[in-house]
Amino acid sequence: MPGEDDHIMMKFPVLIGDIGGTNARFAILVDAYAEPKEFPTVQTASFATIDEAIQTAILDKTSVLPLSAVLAVAGPVDGDEIALTNCDWVVKPKQMFETLGLEEVVVLNDFEAQALGVVALGPEHMEQIGGGEAEDAASRVVLGPGTGLGVAGLVHARHTWIPVPGEGGHVDMGPRSERDFTVFPHIEKIEGRISAEQMLCGRGLVNLYRAVARADGKQARFTTPAEITSAALDRSDATAAEALDIFVTCLGRLAGDLALIFMSRGGVFLTGGIAQKIVPALKNGLFRAAFEDKAPHNALVRSMPVYVITHPLAALAGLAAYARTPGRFGVEIEDRHWARG
Residues at the contact surface with ligand ATP, assessed by CB under 6 A: 20-23, 74, 86, 110, 146-148, 150, 202, 225-226, 229, 272-274, 277
Shorter beta-carbon distance to ligand ATP: residue 85 or 303: 85
> How many other CB atoms are there within 10 angstroms of residue 335's CB atom?
11
**Cβ proximity to ligand ATP, 134 vs 281, nearer residue:** 281
Residue 148 annotated as binding?
Answer: no
* Burial class of residue 78, CB neighbours in 10 A (0-12, 13-18, 19+): exposed
DSSP letters of 154-172?
EEEETTEEEEEE--GGGSB
Query: Closer CB to ligand ATP, residue 177 or residue 223?
Result: 223
In whole angstroms, what is the distance from residue 255 CA to residue 253 CA? Answer: 5
| Distance of closest approach, residue 194 Cβ to ligand ATP, in angstroms | 18
Q: Rounded to the nearest whole angstrom, what is the least distance from the CB of residue 133 to ligand ATP in the complex?
A: 28
Rounded Cα gap, residues 16 and 95, in angstroms:
17
Burial class (CB in 10 A: 0-12, 13-18, 19+), 186: middle
Q: How far is the CB of 299 from ligand ATP (least distance, A)?
A: 33
CB of 24 to ligand ATP, least distance (A): 8
On the CB side of 190, CA atoms within 13 Å amount to 13
Q: Is 19 annotated as a binding residue?
A: yes
Check whether 172 is labelled as a binding-site residue: no
Name the DSSP class of 130: S
Q: Which is nearer to ligand ATP, 10 or 313 (CB)?
A: 313
Shortest distance, CB of residue 17 to ligand ATP, whole angstroms?
Answer: 11
Supply the minimum distance, in Å, between the C-beta of residue 156 and ligand ATP: 24
Rounded CA separation 303/15 (Å): 39
Residue whose CB is less far from ligand ATP, 134 or 143: 143
In angstroms, the CA 323 to CA 305 distance is: 28
Nearest residue (CB) to ligand ATP, 184 versus 222: 222
Residue pair 108/319 in contact (Cβ under 8 Å)? The answer is yes
18 a known binding residue? Answer: yes
Q: Is 147 annotated as a binding residue?
A: no
Query: How many whole angstroms separate alpha carbon 186 and alpha carbon 183?
Result: 6
Query: Considering beta carbons, is residue 20 or 36 the nearer one to ligand ATP?
Result: 20
Closest CB 180 distance from ligand ATP, rounded Å: 21
Residue 265's contacts (CB-CB under 8 Å, 6 or more residues apart) are 134, 135, 138, 139, 303, 304
Residue least distant from ligand ATP (Cβ):
202
Residues 212 and 233: their CA atoms lie apart, in Å, by: 16
Q: Annotated binding site for ATP: which residue ranges?
A: 17-22
Q: Annotated binding site: which residue ranges?
A: 17-22
